[in-house]
Structure 1
Amino acid sequence: MTRIKIFPFVAFLFFLSASNAYVFAQCPGGTWQELAPMNEPRQEVAVAPVNGFIYVVGGLGGRSNTNEIYDSTSDTWSLGADLPMNTDHAWAVSLDGKVYVGGGSSNRVLAYDPNLDEWTEVASSIYEHGGTPAAAVIDGLIYVAGGSGGGMAGNELEVYVPIEDTWYKLSPMRQPRNHTTGGVINGKLYVAGGRPGNQDFLEEYDPETDTWTEKAPMPTGRSGIAGAVVGDCLYVFGGEGNPNDPNGIFWEVEAYNPQTDTWTQLDPMRTGRHGIYAAVIDNLVFIPGGATSQGLGVTGINEVFVVEVE
């Protein structure tokens, strides 16, 4: 067991698995902590964790090729090599010690090696997947669902096979969407919310059968959201287009348990935001940047949601 200090509070990180370290009978809540703000505030960023560091790439409201790195042990920020393109509303995942970033303004895909501080271009995706799609890794393969741009309908799903450096089309989602989010639980991909409108739609993809199944809708339909899997629960944060908030922001935190096909409404975010992306290290959900008002309302706020585990 490794103990790592998360400044300014202490948390114990077991590093068993970023998404499968815990099994919950009911999705637990958590507490929020404010961390060191980003040096370059941005929204519509792409975010992924590797070995205790969190990489925040691209975005609006700042340099759209920035690669800003957060050290979760020292609560400090630094800069990595710039992304070799400008992008926002992109997707990011971590796989085999690298950060993969794609979509946004083109179908280009690049992989960042933190050890070399270098970007390498890999095969372009079939679809553009702008407008913030859902992206996740299952069994060493990268799945990207939804998005917009390049004539997309918005329900497209494809998978990247790194060993072949090739993308393959898969069965499309039932519901077209962008500004969405998702996560993997027990080998299945869950995609929640999104646009057009503020959708409450949730569906599950089974890669074994290449099929989608509709699941219980989110209690609060929203888009411009962040999603994170801790244990066997999908947590969905924030969003844009709230008619009941003066800044048009959703503060909601809702968690989905696929074992019971139910949602739990939890205490709200410390700072409601949209245009956000989450990164998970053990039971810690980091959400850097985003916007605190509808449209362009960029912020450098960096906060962590600590899921309550025994």
Structure 2
Amino acid sequence: MRFGLAIAVALVVGGAHAHEVGGWRAGRPAPAERSEVAVAAIDGRAYVIGDFAGATELLIYDPSRETWTKGAPFPYPVHHTMAAGYGGRIYVFGGYVNGWEASGKVWVYDPGADAWERRRDLPTPRAAGGATVIGTAIHVVGGSVSGRANSPAHEVYDPATDSWTSAAPLPTPRDHLSVQAVDGKLVATGGRVDGEPSRNLAVNEVYDAAADRWNAAAPLPTPRSGAASTVLGREVIVIGGESASKTFDAVEAYDPRADLWRALARLRHPRHGFGAVTHEGRIHSLLGSPRPGGDRSSLVEVLDPTPLPSP
């Protein structure tokens, strides 16, 4: 069974959300509370890495059974790290260590061996960016350096050769953005300026890997940062997030082909600093903080979209 293969069903975003499609339900809570995590999926499992409060234990979620297990701890405390699953392994990039020091370290987790191994460092140490797979490479985009100033870095990792190359930089540098890939395009949505949740952005930019070029796209209807994101069918789903004063329950889907946003049912529990995966047509949102700042939770919510009637 594979993640991300589902039919996206939603309504076009308008002024109200009165007729949103689908509904969230409570899932089985995680065995520990976490926030400011990275979540990546491979082979029918989701892996939760890092924690704002310093927990290192690897949490592993099976969405088909909605059960949790634990894996070998990450080598040190980290938060706001970036992760992607590829080739049966989980790759983890950068993150904040020792408070707010941006790390350049790269680690790979082998589920079969239940072990972590060091890989070649990020060329630009950073945290709170995004990572996603296009083809046989992992793109690590945006984020912040030490001091929390934004970086436009867009660096591409080749797992086969353990090497890095540079790609066209992110046009609007930002952190706490959502990064996903659909049909060879990388979608970089929302985020904030220099770590300030009072400076949230609606910016949506799409990268064409074949052309090594970014283009501006339809803005995020609800500007926010620290959102979870996943892919449902051919749409990028942006879930929750925060500002300086609140957490968001908004769930909005972007279709890069149509350059169009749609609305899905709102979260039952607004939160930020969490992750999401898609499995067998359902979106699973995992953990996160229900309040702005450094709170945490063990919350799991599952969206079961309701198919639209055939025309």
Residues 127, 308 of structure 1: CA spacing in aligned structure 2 closer, same or farther, 3 A cutoff? Answer: farther
2:220 pairs with one of 215, 218, 221: 218
1:246-302: per-residue Cα shift (whole Å, max 9, x none)? xx1111011111122111133211110011122222322221111001112211111
Summarize the alignment of residues 40-79 of structure 1 with structure 2, pairs less than 5 Å apart: 40-61=32-53, 63=55, 65-79=56-70
Which residue of 2 is the match for residue 94 of structure 1? 85
Aligned equivalents of 2:253, 2:70: Cα separation in 1 = 33
Letter in 2 for 1:68: L
Aligned equivalents of 1:155, 1:289: Cα separation in 2 = 28
Aligned equivalents of 2:59, 2:67: Cα separation in 1 = 10
Aligned equivalents of 1:178, 1:198: Cα separation in 2 = 10
Which residue of 2 is the match for residue 239 of structure 1? 241
Which residue of 1 is the match for residue 258 of structure 2? 260
Runs of at least 4 residues of structure 1 off by over 6 A? 23-28
Partners of 2:5 and 2:278 within 8 A in 1 = no
Aligned equivalents of 2:182, 2:9: Cα separation in 1 = 12
TM-score (norm 2): 0.87
User: Helix, strand or coil for the counterpart of 2:275?
Assistant: coil
Which residue of 1 is the match for residue 181 of structure 2? 184
TM-score (norm 1): 0.87
Letter in 2 for 1:205: Y
Aligned equivalents of 2:47, 2:175: Cα separation in 1 = 22
Deviation at 1:81, TM superposition (A): 0.3
Letter in 2 for 1:223: S
Which residue of 2 is the match for residue 140 of structure 1? 136
Which residue of 2 is the match for residue 18 of structure 1? 3
User: Helix, strand or coil for the counterpart of 2:278?
Assistant: strand
Aligned equivalents of 1:49, 1:249: Cα separation in 2 = 25
2:29 pairs with one of 30, 37, 61: 37
What percentage of residue pairs aligned between the two structures are identical? 35
Partners of 1:190 and 1:204 within 8 A in 2 = yes
Residues 239, 209 of structure 1: CA spacing in aligned structure 2 closer, same or farther, 3 A cutoff? Answer: same
Summarize the alignment of residues 108-123 of structure 1 with structure 2, pairs less than 5 Å apart: 108-123=105-120
Letter in 2 for 1:293: R
1:32-85: per-residue Cα shift (whole Å, max 9, x none)? 12112111201001111222221111111351x220112223332221001112
Partners of 2:129 and 2:175 within 8 A in 1 = yes
Residues 242, 270 of structure 1: CA spacing in aligned structure 2 closer, same or farther, 3 A cutoff? Answer: farther
Residues matched between the structures, number: 289
Which residue of 2 is the match for residue 9 of structure 1? none
Deviation at 1:213, TM superposition (A): 0.2
- Runs of 5+ unmatched residues, structure 1: 1-14
2:157 pairs with one of 157, 160, 168: 160
Deviation at 1:118, TM superposition (A): 0.8
Residues 288, 214 of structure 1: CA spacing in aligned structure 2 closer, same or farther, 3 A cutoff? Answer: same
Letter in 2 for 1:281: H
Residues 74, 22 of structure 1: CA spacing in aligned structure 2 closer, same or farther, 3 A cutoff? Answer: closer
Aligned equivalents of 1:283, 1:187: Cα separation in 2 = 21
User: Helix, strand or coil for the counterpart of 2:83?
Assistant: strand
Aligned equivalents of 1:129, 1:256: Cα separation in 2 = 27
Deviation at 1:20, TM superposition (A): 4.7
Partners of 1:41 and 1:61 within 8 A in 2 = no
Residues 307, 107 of structure 1: CA spacing in aligned structure 2 closer, same or farther, 3 A cutoff? Answer: farther
Residues 200, 76 of structure 1: CA spacing in aligned structure 2 closer, same or farther, 3 A cutoff? Answer: same
User: Helix, strand or coil for the counterpart of 2:200?
Assistant: coil
Letter in 1 for 2:289: A
Which residue of 2 is the match for residue 194 of structure 1? 191
User: Helix, strand or coil for the counterpart of 2:273?
Assistant: coil
1:5-28: per-residue Cα shift (whole Å, max 9, x none)? xxxxxxxxxx3x533554779779
Which residue of 2 is the match for residue 229 of structure 1? 231
Partners of 1:230 and 1:282 within 8 A in 2 = no
1:288 pairs with one of 286, 289, 310: 286
- Runs of 5+ unmatched residues, structure 2: 13-19, 97-102, 194-198
Letter in 2 for 1:19: G
Q: Which has the higher contact order (CA 8 A, sep 6+)?
A: 2
Partners of 1:238 and 1:273 within 8 A in 2 = yes
Deviation at 1:111, TM superposition (A): 0.8
Residues 42, 24 of structure 1: CA spacing in aligned structure 2 closer, same or farther, 3 A cutoff? Answer: closer
User: Helix, strand or coil for the counterpart of 2:78?
Assistant: coil
